[in-house]
Amino acid sequence: MTGIYIHIPFCKSKCPYCDFYSFKPDETQKDSYLKAVLRCIKENKSQIKTEVDTVYFGGGTPSYIPPKLILGAMNQIRKCFTLTENAEITLELNPGTIGQAKVDTYKQAGINRFSIGL
């Protein structure tokens, strides 16, 4: 099967041990970046001819951005690709960036697995 990885490079701060590309964004960078991700998904939909069984939002700290942006990305993925019935949809999060309202939006987006970093 096929998986989709979406890198969200934003964090509250850059940890000294982290080797991943990440930084603290300003508010306009979050929206601009996700708009570019949505364009990229749409432009590359013809590249994936099979069902998608995994979607992974990694980073950075994807839970650091507004959850509506994750919801928008999942809506675009569903428009452009066929997800399997039991697709695993994962979001990396840091416990300091999460609350019930975000969890509710993630659930609406179809997130069914959290990868928790400490």
- Tell me if residue 62 falls in helix, strand or coil: helix
Helix (H) or strand (E) holding 90: strand 83-93
Q: What is the pLDDT of residues 86-117, one digit of tens each?
A: 999 999 999 889 999 999 999 999 999 999 97
CB atoms within 10 A of CB 7: 16
Other C-beta atoms lying within 10 Å of the C-beta of residue 89: 21
Reported as a single tens digit per residue, the pLDDT across 18-44 is 888 898 998 889 989 999 999 999 998
Q: Provide the whole-model pTM.
A: 0.92
Helix and strand numbers (H, E) in the chain are 3, 4
Note the helical H segments in the chain: 27-43, 67-80, 100-109
